[in-house]
Amino acid sequence: MKDLKELKKIEKFADQCMKCGFCSFFCPVYQEEKVETAVARGKNYLTKLAIKGEQEFTPEMAEIIGKCLLCKRCVANCPAKAQIDRVVVGARAQMVKEKGLGFVKNFAFRKVMADRKAFGRYLRLAKAFQWLLPKTEGNIRHLPDFLKALGKGRNIPSLAKTFLRDMVKPVYKPQNGETPKMRVGFFMGCATDFVYPELGLKLIDFLTKRGVEVVVPEAQNCCGAAIYFSGDFETGRYLANANIKAFDDVEYVITACGTCSSTLKDYQKYLPDNEEEQKRYEAFEKKVKDSLEFIINILNVKPEELTLKKEFEGKVATWHDPCHLIRYQNIKDQPRAILKSLKGLKYVEMPNADLCCGMGGSFSVYHYDLTKKIADKKMNGIKATGADIVVTACPGCMINLIDNALRNKMPQKVYHLLELVEG
């Protein structure tokens, strides 16, 4: 008899759906595809059949379960609060259990991303050859035809000249020389490490200026978002355990990446196999804070105390809510409070601020055409504001917003909120 271990874990969540179809108004994938299999209700129905042993994980089923951004718009707007994200991830985990990961994901997840040193080596190699990719604008490069499997014509930022891991010290003491208010661990995240290292340095500087001691454990690893959201729970658990160990002796774990913070907080939702693991993951989750949440809610920095950097004076800014901040962590007021109180900056709310940008991690690799259609709606919202700059707090969203703004020939530049703030 088939072992339905991963599916059994999500049965109670699959039973929450009452088939009302309300989610169809909010699901970005359904809004483009208009087929029942695109929406939460359809995915949930098929997964329930799989739980009963009446649906196999055929290539068609894999396509349906794979075509979800995990944006949680369905969950946020569901009258029954059905947790379809858990159902989708659980179905993917069952699929991996039955069919394996396939060569590409197996190599990428287990041989590259799970091995921090190897990941760095591969990207150093890629950096040496990135000059082969034509530049679009500034440090943005263009994926040529021979890399079209990653998204034909996609604009991607250059890899940084020096990776953050090669710049940071293991410990940063408070700049005022006084006894630290608290000791926090800085979690880099891959995009900050390899693409936006200045963001990591900025956060360290910001915190140490305010009396915090920041440690940067070398033993930290990738947060695992793309890995366990793809259903590779085995590698996901390996990364979770490595990160928990690496940040064992700090009060808080802080990151400037919305996807990383939500993933580190999500270990206990998806990965535990037993009660002991559940407790360990839950305890870790309590320590994890996104940078904006930490600055406003823990460090108690008043938004009005913050100063706008000179280069942004007179600009009009709008805010994009990363799914991993607004729906996974309920972080929506902190960035708005900061943006509205920065003197010299005008804030305009965009009409669809909480709409997913279409990235969805590896979703955009497999469904780039769909990503572009979803992103076009986000771009229309940005255009409606007349803003000069788009501000967010997730490097993954930044990469996708930059690509789509360039594709739509829009003038707006994209920034992480920390980049706007002085000191």
Distance in Å, CB of 19 to ligand SF4, minimum = 5
As measured in angstroms, the least distance from the Cβ of 359 to ligand SF4 is: 12
Interatomic CA distance for residues 113 and 16, integer angstroms:
34
Residue 323: closest CA among 123, 52, 71: 71
197-214 in b/e form (b: 16+ CB < 10 A) is bebbebbbebbbebbbbb
The DSSP letter of residue 19 is -
Q: Please report how close the Cβ of residue 28 comes to ligand SF4 at its closest, in angstroms.
A: 6
Nearest distance, CB of residue 30 and ligand SF4, angstroms: 6
Of the pair 257, 370, the CB lying nearest ligand SF4 is at 370
Closest CA to 87 of 110, 104, 64: 64
Least separation, in Å, of the C-beta of 76 and ligand SF4?
Answer: 8
CA 176 vs. chain centroid, Å, equals 33
Residue number with CB closer to ligand SF4 (66 or 120): 66
Provide the CB-side half-sphere exposure for 267 (13 A, CA).
Answer: 31
Closer to ligand SF4 by CB, 22 or 238: give it.
Answer: 22
Radius of gyration of the chain (CA): 21
Of residues 70 and 114, the one with the C-beta less far from ligand SF4 = 70
Pick the closer one to ligand SF4 by CB: 354 or 403.
354
The nearer residue to ligand SF4, 192 or 259, going by C-beta atoms, is: 259
Count CB-CB contacts under 10 A for residue 241: 17
Q: Cβ closer to ligand SF4: 40 or 168? A: 40
CB of 371 to ligand SF4, least distance (A): 12
Work out how close the CB of 192 gets to ligand SF4 at its nearest, in angstroms, rounded to a whole number: 25
C-alpha 23/C-alpha 39 separation (Å) is: 7
* β-strand pairing of 140-142 with 155-157: antiparallel
CA pair distance 154, 156, nearest whole angstrom: 6
- Which residues would be at the binding site for ligand SF4 (CB under 6 A)? 17-23, 26-29, 39-41, 43, 68-74, 78, 80, 82, 84-85
